[in-house]
Amino acid sequence: MSLRIIALAALACAATAANAGTLLTEDFSGATSGTYGVGTIAGTQFAVTTANVDVGGALNGGGFFACSGNPAGNCVDLVGNAGGGGIASVPTFTLTAGDTYTVTFGGTLQSGATNPASTTFSVGLGSLSQLETVNTPYAPSTFTLTFKPTVTETNAALSFTTIVPADSVHGEVIDHISLSEAAPSAGAVPEPAAWAMMLGGFGLIGTVARRRRQVAVAA
């Protein structure tokens, strides 16, 4: 193996601290409308983790309720029948320290005219979480949240959990969930693990160079 190849491999190891790209997408198009208790929501990549949630929309037996933010598809109301619920992704992920994880989803507050026009919910990624409060019923919007772990974490799930429901049967309605990962830019300071890989590669370069000098002297 040439020194050039070894050097390029070392730099590649340092530059690829994580796999950039989309990790998960879910629009609940595979789910059937209805109330789901704890367990996997059939046809999706999510499971109910707290109480229960309602799946509604126009697809696969829709009519349970309409999705104002996704009228042609399905969505999930985080408040089921009855009380605040939560969901978490079935696939889990390894979060790399220093990488940026972006969560996007469509959301709106489902609330009747006499119901409290506010709900608070948590979006979590492993041990990291952010709170969101929605105050305007039936006003669809797109949420974009970023997480940047400071330590590497394994078996991390993406979760959505009701904190304060609008009432016992209305809450935050979500659809079109996406989770993506981006490694630090080329100009960023490498993480400790990347430094270790890079130094190890350059150490290998030094070893090969010394062996070549020894062979040359012996000849």
Task: Give the pLDDT of residue 81.
Answer: 87
Q: Say how far apart CA 158 and CA 178 lie, in whole Å.
A: 10
Asked if residue 4 has pLDDT above 80, the reply is no
> Which of 41-50, 59-68, 102-111 has the weakest average pLDDT?
59-68
> Which of 11-15, 24-28, 159-163 has the weakest average pLDDT?
11-15
Q: How confident is the model at residue 188 (pLDDT cuts 50, 70, 90)?
A: low
pLDDT, averaged across the chain:
83
Task: Give the pLDDT of residue 14.
Answer: 46
Q: What DSSP designation does 184 have? A: P
According to DSSP, the residues that pair with 120 across neighbouring strands are 133, 164
Q: Say how far apart CA 14 and CA 34 lie, in whole Å.
A: 48
Helices (H), the chain: 3-15, 192-218
Asked if residue 127 has pLDDT above 60, the reply is yes
Asked if residue 200 has pLDDT above 90, the reply is no
Q: 163 or 169: which carries more pLDDT confidence?
A: 163
User: What angle is formed at CA 198 by the lines to CA 196 and CA 199, rounded to 5 degrees?
Assistant: 65
Q: Which value, in Å, is the radius of gyration of the alpha carbons in the chain?
A: 24
- Of 24, 42, 23, 26, nearest in space to 34 by CA: 42
pTM, two decimals, is 0.77
According to DSSP, the residues that pair with 87 across neighbouring strands are 48, 160
The predicted-structure confidence for 87-123, as pLDDT tens digits, reads as follows 999 999 999 999 999 999 999 998 765 566 789 999 9
